[in-house]
Structure 1
């Protein structure tokens, strides 16, 4: 199957809260999938403890517009899917863990598996209840002794084979709207910039099905991601870029940022 829509060059979802591992007690890695899978899957990721921690680990996931499959390599019979989130999510993990994940680019999870993304929004669901064939593959093929390299190979082989004969149907007008949002870094006017031949209501339905939220919330997340990716702290502090970034004022920016990250921009940037 060929995906005629590839947003990888337009969007790089970032999870900054797990890139800073204190004393290497906890490490996080991302690897690219096979080239043919890159229009669909942003990365495979690994989050693990290298030694038992003295206390449970608090793990924050910031809003990134993606849908993830994840599981603990020590408990492969329990895999999960996390839908689009319109705010940060904090997980209290145990003092030892070895999580593996698959991060799907926006709209790709629903396009591949024909799942209504809105039904997963702001939720974590058992994967066996959503995409049972993938849950069964994980339970049958993975174990705690596998290296991350081997895990990548298993996923690549499985997904390349799984999607080869799929007939990926998509509405070009939806993907044109998504493309516009990425190219404008989320600073868009819904009525003027997203005039792609669909009414606002029709476009909203497509965004809810494929992304899991409205076009407005989605472009707010894209805008937020741009700020943390480029670390635009000096522009923000100067006070001259709020309007350029689509915020009404400083208070609006701080509230929006804290919703998506869980911390104020002062603490993060």
Structure 2
């Protein structure tokens, strides 16, 4: 894996049968890509609520492949309004994995949590070939296989700034404790705290504190999957009230609400 960390970011549950599928890419593509996914939206007005995960997603509308966007990391829940029937195919990159296709530093196009048009960041040849193969594919599995082949032919190994890499590994090792951003600690990454802030905003699209906060939040989502006693907070936060406050800030819901809802919801039913 690109950062040599066991990081498996989660989004919430989609409870509608057959509406969401995901596929883990083969090696060596999994060095850069965390997963392929597809969201099938039924007829009607729906909303999809995404939660922060520190990743970049390339999302393509299968009903109109020219409608495709790059979604950078975001720091609060983001809601997409969707009119079905429509299907979206997504490529979720690992942390820094997008650099294999996008040479422009994240901080130069990730502004105000906004999305970017794929045509502004990816080559015309890649876009044309990807659209052509997706339109020919007859199933989700076939789309994943043909996109895997295509991406393996164009991805480039890029040099990761080791100062940023040291910080990411430090955050991953310390999701259960307070992240230290003192100059003394940052010197172990080879930077000052001010330099670290500049580098993470440039390459990760977030401040050091916000990147660490999202990483810890994602840690609780993974814990929730196997937690039967509702004590996911104990492994990551000072106390339960701190956990609930941070969880609601990043997801928009309390942990109990989030665990029981579908992130794809019918707006008419909600109304």
Q: Is the pair's TM-score, using the shorter chain for normalization, greater than 0.5?
A: yes
How many residue pairs end up in the alignment?
Answer: 250
The higher-RCO structure (CA 8 Å, 6+ apart) is: 2
How far did residue 144 of structure 1 move? 7.1
Structure 1, unpaired ranges of 5+: none
Any idea what SS the aligned residue of 2:19 has?
strand
Which residue of structure 2 aligns with residue 83 of structure 1? 72
How many Å separate the matches in 2 of 1:177 and 1:130?
26
Equivalent positions of 1:96-175 (< 5 A) are 96-110=85-99, 112-118=101-107, 119-121=109-111, 122-133=113-124, 134-143=126-135, 146-163=138-155, 166-175=156-165
1:200 matched to 2:190? The reply is no
Inter-CA distance 145–208: structure 2 relative to 1 (3 Å threshold): same
How many Å separate the matches in 2 of 1:77 and 1:146?
18
Equivalent positions of 1:237-256 (< 5 A) are 241=234, 245-247=236-238, 251-256=241-246
Any idea what SS the aligned residue of 1:30 has?
strand
How many Å separate the matches in 1 of 2:248 and 2:195?
30
Inter-CA distance 106–186: structure 2 relative to 1 (3 Å threshold): farther
Q: Deviations over 1:191-250 (max 9, x none)?
A: 26553111112222221122111111011001111112111663368xxx4xx7355x65
Inter-CA distance 60–169: structure 2 relative to 1 (3 Å threshold): same
How far did residue 136 of structure 1 move? 2.7
Which residue of structure 2 aligns with residue 42 of structure 1? 34
RMSD: 2.3
Structure 2, unpaired ranges of 5+: 260-271
Residue 213 (structure 2) aligned to one of 206, 220, 224: 220
How far did residue 97 of structure 1 move? 1.1
Which residue of structure 1 aligns with residue 53 of structure 2? 64
Any idea what SS the aligned residue of 2:138 has?
coil
TM-score by length of 2: 0.83
TM-score by length of 1: 0.83
